[in-house]
Structure 1
Amino acid sequence: MLRLLSILAALWVSAGQTAEDDRVLDNAAATVDKYCALNADLEELDVDAAREDLEGGAGEDNFIVKLIEEAGIARQNGDTPAQIADRFGEIADPGFVASKAFAMVLAILLFVLWVLCCWFVCCPCLCRACCRCCQRKWATGKIFKGILWLLFIAFGVAAVIMVSTSMRGATMIDNGISGTACAAATLIEDAVAGSPTYQFTGLLPAYNTLAGLATILNPGSSFLNQLQTIIDQTQEIQKAVDLASGTIEALETMMNNPVNINPVSDPTNPSSSTMYHKCQVCEPLAEILGRINDVFASSTGEAMAQLRGKIEENLQGQAAEDLRVSITAAMEPIQAAKDAFVEQVGFFVEPGSGGFQASTEMVAGENSMLQPAVLAFFALYLLIAVSALIALALWSAKDQQGEKPDHCCVRFCTGCVSCSACIYAMIVLLICGIMVIVAMFGSGLCLVMIDFNQETGTNLMAAVGADVPAEVEMALKIADRCFSLTHPEFDPGFSRNLADIVDIPPMNQTKADAGETSTIREEIFSFALDPILQQIDNAEASLAGDGSAPSIASDANTLELLAMIGALDMSALYLPVESELAATSSPYKPMMDDVQGSTSPFKAYLVNSVSCSNVSLSEDLGDLGGQSVPGIEAMAVDGFTVQGSDVPALSYYMDAPMSGSCPSYTGGTCNNNLTMQFFKPGCDAAVAFLQDVKQQFQTEELFMCTYIVNGPTDPTPCYPRNMVQSGGAWTNTCLNGGTVYRRTRKCTLAEFNSFVKGAEQDIRKTFEYFDSITSSLLTAIITDMKDLVQTDIITPVVDLLDMLNCGFMRAFWEGLTTNMCYRGMNGFRLIANSYVISGLLSLCIALLIIIPWKISRDNADKLAREGGPVVQGSV
């Protein structure tokens, strides 16, 4: 059959995928080839240890997290942005910030001290002038020099360790950048090409499929035209349903009409005077018609008609437009996510200028300058350390123990090394101080990323003083479900399917008015798929075991019920209502009155129907079957028997028998065979009841008949029993333009009885017509229409909904945080800490190497001035 949607889907995907999307895809593939192979060779990361390192970098009380938490509390309390800012000022810990800025503060203090003290080293005259009082001759022993040598050797070893640590940090940054690029590239490929592992069809195909569905639901689309063709081909099934149900409804209308249940003098005015009779089978007959309707409703043909109608209802007209609008509304956040995705994530795989790779090529990859830069700082440190060792060796070799001045190169070398080490320490401590602060904020932000969820995002928006409109809240919800690492990767009770996450306005107006939202899956299933799927199941369940449609016309229950309708004689089933006759306002009350303890003999006429003759009810009428119902003739002249007792006719009580025939009897006066003359009023009332009421049932239009007519302008009755099938075609179907028209008018008892009894043949014939149409259209509806909708609408939509799992984004987020934070940020912090240590070691070198300079300087100055004895044991 038709596969239009499948063909269009391929066109939609190719049309929806822009040149920019293609370029990003190509870049992603190249990035995967370039970086992911390298990332696969990395040793497994100890996540717990890496997190501890991050927490150490962020501080025991994560400043960033604390700010976000406080913003969340302020948001819940309804605080203004100004109040939130004041709260931030209260919780800020200057001591904590100062501890992280220790290296930078130390560098500034060191610079001040160096500016003040460097002149004493650089200018001997200034040193002699200012330090004369504390200068003396020094003699150093081997132990003292040995200690200095051990310290300087330790500084050299520490330098090697720091170089190793910094290089490890640089490697971690390199690996982190490569891993980030790999994760981003994998994300793009998964998002676009799909991820079978995480059951994701692909963001662009998903968007384009929804766009395609919205397109085919546009009026005049090729798909709807194809669907309309099938619906037009199967219109006969609806006609058959309408004819059968219209015939049943015509009979139901008559049976349920109040003036037919309790006839009145003017049937067009239900409030007119009563006719003191009630239909004995109208209500039971309604139950019979209900049973026929049940058989009809469970038939294959009715199920086929319901399926056809449901497809027409849900996939055409206003319902299709509503569904298209809902799908379009659902596409908006996906469109925004797709555009932001291509724009933002594309940065990570962009190889050209301005892309992530070009921006990081100086610190990662083959052309990385990070390791040489790290080594350059330590090379300077090593140069200073080596210079210090040379200066120390020179001093050790040239030290004259204060007996005479040392060689001037001793003071020059030690002084230069001390100044250089101090300058290096200032520069490195300043740089690494900034790096430590950056690492603190970076580690804090990394922990926020790792622990991110919807609440964190909302608090973060509050922290920056931004509102959280509905679309932002929806984006945070998607981020929470798709990205957050706080939820288990595989949790049966936690859906990461976008069809269950994205909220859209409900099509149910009551829910919409209540401010409730719905999801894509709920809307599509509730208003489009479930009703159709249910009707498909009903249609298939109604089929016989061989796959054919069971006949409703030959169904045993149908035949039994129709036989009951055919056996009805409505004239025999209208009996007097005792309560109405006995009412105070009734002119016929005397015939119901018992006089002086004697029962009125005229009560026996309560069993007489409005039929002229007596009627024996058919056995087909169930509980009523087999009974003999006396009529008007029996009441007037013949008499009858009730439960073995003879009941005389009215003529028995008259001076002369009544003359005439049913329905018109005249003559006679009630004065005969009245054992008690006080029953005469009852006899007169009975005669009046016969002539004024009973006889009118046979002559007047006291009923409302409902029947099928030829058309809206042709009131001629049309009887479905006259339909004829010839060569597979049916004629005289009583359908005018595919519509059944009915008319209701006043009618006589004979007409009413004819319509009721004729309904049996009409219903039987419409069921035969219905069975014939059902069999001929079984393939068109059960097979063709079902296959078209099931294969081209339902299956693609269900498959799409099931393949919108965004768990692959969690894998990306995990890869991003692992590489950018656990590797990159921790590596950056290692380098910063190594620089801090190298700066402190350089400062120690500057302070220690000044000792030989001071000894040599004092000895030279002292000997130059005094030539006095050496002070032993001073050092």
Structure 2
Amino acid sequence: MRLLGSAPLLGLAFAGPVADKALERVDVVCEAVKDPKLDLDVADKKKAVEKFVGDNIIEMFIRDERCHSDNDDILTECIEDKRGDIQSAANRVGGGFSLAFLLVIGWITLLPCFICRCWRKACCWFCLGESKKGLRTPKQTTRFAFILVGMLLALALLIAGSIAIGSQDTMSSGADGTFCEIYKLANNSLNGYPGGESNMENDDAFIGLVPMIDSVKDLVDELDPNGNGELLPGVDNLLLETRTLDRAVADLTGSLENMLATLGKPENRRVGEYTCVFCDACCGGPNPLVAQVLDELKGSAAGALNEARDMVRQELRGQNIVDLHREASKAIDPLDEFRDVFEDKIGDALINNEEDIRDVLDAISSATLGWAAGVFLPIVLLILVVLCGCFRKPPEDHTDKVTNPCGVCCSCCCTCLYVFIACYVSGIVMILAYFEGSVCMIIHDVPKIVDMYDDFQSLANRDGPVRRLLPALPAPPAGRYLSSDNDDVKKFIGTCLDPAGDGDILSTIEVDDGKTLRETFNVEERIKTEFDKITTSVGADINDPSLNIANLPAFRDLLNAIDAVGDLYVLDPDRAAALQSDAELPTSPPSLSAGAAILEAGFAGVPEDPIASLDGKTLIGVDEYIAALSGNGVGLGTATGCTTFKLSGANQNLVPWGNLLNLRQPVMTKNDYDCTGYTIFETADRKFVTSPGSSRTCDFNQWQQFIRDFKTDLQAKASAVDVERVASFDKIDTGLRDLVDRLVIIPIQELLDGISCRFMAVRWEGLINQFCWTYAAGITGFGAALLAACAIITVILVYEFVIWRYLKDNRCIRRDLAKEARTHPSQSPQVMASHNPQVGVPLTVQINVQK
């Protein structure tokens, strides 16, 4: 679509500094970030985090309402029930703290032994058995074995350090990726999202807040009744040019509706014992003939043209355009406010302060890198210890050089201090890793967030434990708030963040009268549908005679029915049956069959009549029958007094027929038939309508003429509608359609099509992949590697202590040799060696009690 296709350009053209910088930072920050789509590597990291977290203690506490209670007893009960799970979690993260505690105990116990020179008169345990003549020193093969062990420890420590550095690199990548996703979120929210960046269904494009606000403002300007837009003046002009069609259709409709109203009135349809059959046929019952004509008129080409014109008038004139303008204007305010808040929060807290945040992250990165690289410090110390200690053999003469144990002692002291701090750091890192991993195990599953939404509400309650720990949080409503399935937040999460959502946020947000935002702004369905009816109704040629109103089937039937208006009233069927049972009627002329036919068929015509002058004629209606009787001296009100009549032959009994005529008297003498007409006028929003005219009554003859006049009136007005149909076609179907499409339908539809929040699900997945499965996996690996390094360094600490004892023994041996040389200078070094049987014996640690 045009609007979506130009969204990035619009974003650049109209974006503010924050939106512009967000787009810039995406290019800079995300350029070097590897896109961690959920491949095998990320899946393995996710499994590693899940395995490390195990039973999620945080989720347990969130779901258990007892853990949200202000009552200490209930809170204690919740904690007691989860003691086993808490202990299991503590075992996962507490290795570093446990090892550091043991080191403290060992350090306190063995600290004196790390002094350069042990006190000669110390207790036996103080220096682990130092004797006056030193401990036995190892043979050369044993020393080489110690060297090999030292190298293996250095290699193990090197591997642990490499893993820690690799994990730190993963952490850095995760942090950069998290920033990248945040910048992408800011850029997609402000400048737009092209769509198709993931394998999710409904990965639709989003126009962006900045282009969307500009588009809405342009639309609002066009819809402003007091503005200078092109739309409303153009609509007014075309409505004015085509008002003759509206008037013609309204006039014809007015005649039909007036006919339906007057002939359908009970006082006109039934008079005395008689019912108006024509009135029932055209204007009574569930589906009267006039109603059929009105439906045909609405579905005709002229009706479709006028309906399209009227729909535009309704939507874009009068109160509706005021309401639409107000709704569109109201939509701008929250969009502007959201953009301002979004820009302020993202801009001030992230983009504009990126350097400060980067400094903090660099410091954290440097610290973790320092700890990771610091693992190599014990390696250097160990290598120096091995080189300085194990490669120098025990002295055989007092002149032989020995290594000063002070260097090894200092190395041992540094190693002990380092491993103590490293263990605590590893414990802290493991706690952070567990916390982040636990949170990630919750937030990566969007349906779980929706399911736990009420529990989150409770946990953040005004008086809850989280509120007491973090009083600066925004205060929610007092009391626990349980949301319904219609909660906007739940709808937002399910629609925008859930991979199974459709992203149609406008259809989830309800406004007044239960209408959604999409229904409020979607005028295409209401306007364009009416224009489409024109194409369906017109076909290929607007001048086709078959489109004329006179050719509508129901219209033709109505005109034909008006031609037989003389036969208006017939006896009610029940009353006719009663008359047929009259004792005099069957025995009086005319014949039984003739009388029955008149009573049953009304005035459709019967072939015989008791009056000789009417022999061979068809009785068309009561009027002719009454005229014939009157010509022979029988009139209304006198028939019952004229018992016999003889034109030729036998006397005729006219009493039954006089009674029949008396039943017709109310019809013939009624002078208050409702003959009210109608008036046509134009409303303020330029719509022609009709209303009943001044009330008018008439007698039977006038009533008949009133009905006959409908035919001429309907024919003339139908002809006028056909003329205006042809004259208005191009102005409505082309001019008005193009104007509304170009300035209303297309902009609104593109705007509605461009408002999809699926990009949030894409960014959320990227954020989870970066922050959770990359950063969390990195910090978990870093903590585990650091803990392993601490365990290895602990072994190295023991190793260094043994080397220190070995060097200390060498010094003791040389000291004894020097003392012996001063006492017995004639003895050779070989003799000295023969008097010292401990030299060359494998290294053992002996504890001798000093006397």
The question of a shared fold, defined as TM-score above 0.5 by the shorter chain, is answered with yes
Residue identity in the other structure for 2:488 = M
Residue identity in the other structure for 2:300 = S
Which of 77, 89, 97 aligns to 1:96? It is 89
Q: CA deviation at 1:23?
A: 1.6
- Counterpart in the other structure of 1:388: 385
List per-residue Cα deviations over 1:442-481 (Å, max 9, x = no partner): 2333333433344266166147334465799433433444
Residue identity in the other structure for 2:673 = F
Conservation of the 8 A alpha-carbon contact between 1:411 and 1:856: yes
Give the TM-score normalised by structure 2: 0.76
Give the percent of matched residue pairs that are identical in Structure 1 and Structure 2: 17
**2:212 is the counterpart of 1:206:** yes
Residue identity in the other structure for 2:675 = C
Larger RCO: 1 or 2 (CA < 8 Å, sep 6+): 2
- Counterpart in the other structure of 2:370: 373
Which of 823, 827, 844 aligns to 2:774? It is 823
Give the TM-score normalised by structure 1: 0.75
Residue identity in the other structure for 2:264 = N
List per-residue Cα deviations over 1:313-345 (Å, max 9, x = no partner): 334445456556666777787667645543454
The SS at the match of 1:281 is: helix
Conservation of the 8 A alpha-carbon contact between 1:58 and 1:443: yes
- Counterpart in the other structure of 2:421: 427
- Counterpart in the other structure of 2:140: 142
Residue identity in the other structure for 1:114 = W
Distance across 1 between alignment mates of 2:154 and 2:680 = 114
Conservation of the 8 A alpha-carbon contact between 1:388 and 1:845: no
CA 85–298 in structure 1, closer or farther in 2 if over 3 Å, else same: farther
Which of 744, 753, 774 aligns to 1:802? It is 753
Distance across 2 between alignment mates of 1:738 and 1:463 = 59
Distance across 2 between alignment mates of 1:327 and 1:253 = 41
Which of 680, 685, 706 aligns to 2:676? It is 706
| 5+ residue gaps, structure 1 | 264-273, 489-493, 513-517, 584-588, 610-614, 618-623, 713-734
Q: CA deviation at 1:782?
A: 2.0
Q: CA deviation at 1:216?
A: 5.0
Q: CA deviation at 1:792?
A: 2.0
Distance across 1 between alignment mates of 2:104 and 2:67 = 48
Distance across 1 between alignment mates of 2:659 and 2:454 = 92
Equivalences for 1:227-626 in 2 at 5 Å? 227-263=235-271, 274=272, 276-286=273-283, 287-320=288-321, 338-339=339-340, 341-346=342-347, 350=351, 352=353, 356-362=357-363, 369=366, 373-374=370-371, 377-393=374-390, 396-397=391-392, 399-400=394-395, 409-453=403-447, 454-455=449-450, 458=453, 461-462=456-457, 464-466=459-461, 467=481, 473-484=487-498, 487=499, 494-500=501-507, 502-505=508-511, 507=513, 512=514, 519-525=516-522, 528-548=523-543, 551-555=547-551, 557=553, 560-561=556-557, 563-570=559-566, 572-577=567-572, 579-580=574-575, 593-594=582-583, 598=587
Q: CA deviation at 1:874?
A: 6.0
The SS at the match of 1:847 is: helix
Equivalences for 1:10-159 in 2 at 5 Å? 22-39=16-33, 47-57=39-49, 59-63=51-55, 65-68=56-59, 71-72=62-63, 74=64, 87=78, 90-91=81-82, 92-122=85-115, 124=117, 126=119, 128-131=121-124, 134-136=129-131, 137-159=135-157
CA 27–292 in structure 1, closer or farther in 2 if over 3 Å, else same: closer
Distance across 2 between alignment mates of 1:307 and 1:418 = 93
Distance across 1 between alignment mates of 2:358 and 2:687 = 75
Q: CA deviation at 1:697?
A: 4.8
Distance across 1 between alignment mates of 2:577 and 2:194 = 84
CA 127–255 in structure 1, closer or farther in 2 if over 3 Å, else same: farther
Distance across 2 between alignment mates of 1:667 and 1:471 = 81
The SS at the match of 2:392 is: helix
Q: CA deviation at 1:309?
A: 2.3
Distance across 2 between alignment mates of 1:673 and 1:45 = 113
Distance across 1 between alignment mates of 2:723 and 2:585 = 68
- Counterpart in the other structure of 1:167: 165
The SS at the match of 1:245 is: helix
Distance across 2 between alignment mates of 1:773 and 1:34 = 64
Q: CA deviation at 1:426?
A: 1.0
CA 336–704 in structure 1, closer or farther in 2 if over 3 Å, else same: same
Residue identity in the other structure for 1:293 = L
Distance across 1 between alignment mates of 2:717 and 2:386 = 116
| 5+ residue gaps, structure 2 | 197-204, 462-480, 821-834, 845-851
Q: CA deviation at 1:224?
A: 4.2
Q: CA deviation at 1:546?
A: 2.3
Residue identity in the other structure for 1:475 = V
The SS at the match of 2:432 is: helix
Residue identity in the other structure for 1:495 = D
CA 190–305 in structure 1, closer or farther in 2 if over 3 Å, else same: same
- Counterpart in the other structure of 2:762: 811
- Counterpart in the other structure of 2:199: none
Distance across 1 between alignment mates of 2:116 and 2:530 = 103
Q: CA deviation at 1:789?
A: 2.3
CA RMSD of aligned residues (A): 4.8
The SS at the match of 1:504 is: coil
Distance across 2 between alignment mates of 1:696 and 1:125 = 143
Residue identity in the other structure for 1:129 = A
The SS at the match of 1:496 is: coil
Aligned pair count reads 767
Distance across 2 between alignment mates of 1:149 and 1:375 = 25
Distance across 2 between alignment mates of 1:192 and 1:327 = 19
CA 687–758 in structure 1, closer or farther in 2 if over 3 Å, else same: same
CA 457–804 in structure 1, closer or farther in 2 if over 3 Å, else same: farther
The SS at the match of 2:677 is: strand
Distance across 1 between alignment mates of 2:646 and 2:675 = 43
Conservation of the 8 A alpha-carbon contact between 1:347 and 1:356: no
Residue identity in the other structure for 2:583 = D
Residue identity in the other structure for 1:776 = A
List per-residue Cα deviations over 1:123-161 (Å, max 9, x = no partner): 745463212894444232223322221111112223432
Q: CA deviation at 1:766?
A: 0.7
Q: CA deviation at 1:174?
A: 3.2
CA 861–837 in structure 1, closer or farther in 2 if over 3 Å, else same: same
Distance across 2 between alignment mates of 1:85 and 1:547 = 84
The SS at the match of 1:130 is: coil
List per-residue Cα deviations over 1:777-833 (Å, max 9, x = no partner): 222322222222223222222222222233333332333333333333333333333
Conservation of the 8 A alpha-carbon contact between 1:650 and 1:683: no
- Counterpart in the other structure of 2:469: none
- Counterpart in the other structure of 1:728: none
Distance across 2 between alignment mates of 1:213 and 1:869 = 105
**2:670 is the counterpart of 1:670:** no
The SS at the match of 2:676 is: strand
Q: CA deviation at 1:406?
A: 9.0
Distance across 1 between alignment mates of 2:497 and 2:751 = 21
CA 629–86 in structure 1, closer or farther in 2 if over 3 Å, else same: farther
Which of 729, 745, 749 aligns to 1:778? It is 729
